[in-house]
Amino acid sequence: MSNFVTVGSKFPEFSKKAVVAIEKGKEFKTISNEDIKGKWAVLFWWPKDFTFICPTEIAEFNKNFSNFEDRDTVLLGASTDSEYVHHAWRMHHDDLRDLKFPMIADTSKSLAEELGILSEDEKVAYRATYIIDTEGIVRWVSVNDLGVGRNVDEVLRVLDALQTDELCPCNWTKGEATLVAEVG
């Protein structure tokens, strides 16, 4: 990986086709930076459609969709598969039919490449998760190897911590006290 978008970086400009529904005539929409402008966003990547770990993660993010909404956060999913493959997968997988967030198709692999998350061998995206703030700045990145699923509760915990704009200690969870830096 030559370049890598990390914490403190501006999230790259993008405009990609996405599957947003399975209803005929309403399946596809273009998703871009404009859809997250001025909002918190979580963008998570999976390697390939029609695989084994990926649908467990996508279903778990979907199950937690209202938790992201409650935090005024736009949830987006992406892989390097085409929008047509995404659509077929949604149509044929019980856990994916009723997704509440877009499945972005980075068919050209340009965004995944710019982010620095393409695997060397297969050129598929690693299991990367980005939390992007209201200014379009990456505030958290987590990248798992291809064979290990991520923890959606941890994504929510970190999002909560970032949104406090305070100092949050190890294992902090929403509702707990934050730290006060003593100067002296």
Residue 175 placed within a domain = no
CA angle 158, 162, 168 (to 5 degrees): 80
User: Into how many domains does the chain fold?
Assistant: 1
Distance (Å, whole) CA 184 – CA 175: 28
Which among 66, 96, 94 is positioned nearest to 81, based on CA atoms?
96
Q: Which residues pair with 130 in a beta bridge?
A: 43, 141
Q: How large is the angle between the packed helices 53-63 and 152-164, nearest 10 degrees?
A: 40
Catalytic residues, by residue number, are 54
Query: What is the tens place of the pLDDT at every residue in 109-125?
Result: 999 999 999 988 888 88
Query: What is the tens place of the pLDDT at every residue in 25-35?
Result: 888 999 999 99
Residue 64 placed within a domain = yes
pTM as predicted: 0.90
The parent domain of residue 81 ranges over: 15-164
Query: What is the tens place of the pLDDT at every residue in 117-162?
Result: 998 888 888 889 999 999 999 999 999 887 888 888 999 999 999 9
Q: Residue 21: CA atoms inside 13 Å, Cβ hemisphere, count?
A: 7
- What CATH number is given to the structural domain containing 55? 3.40.30.10
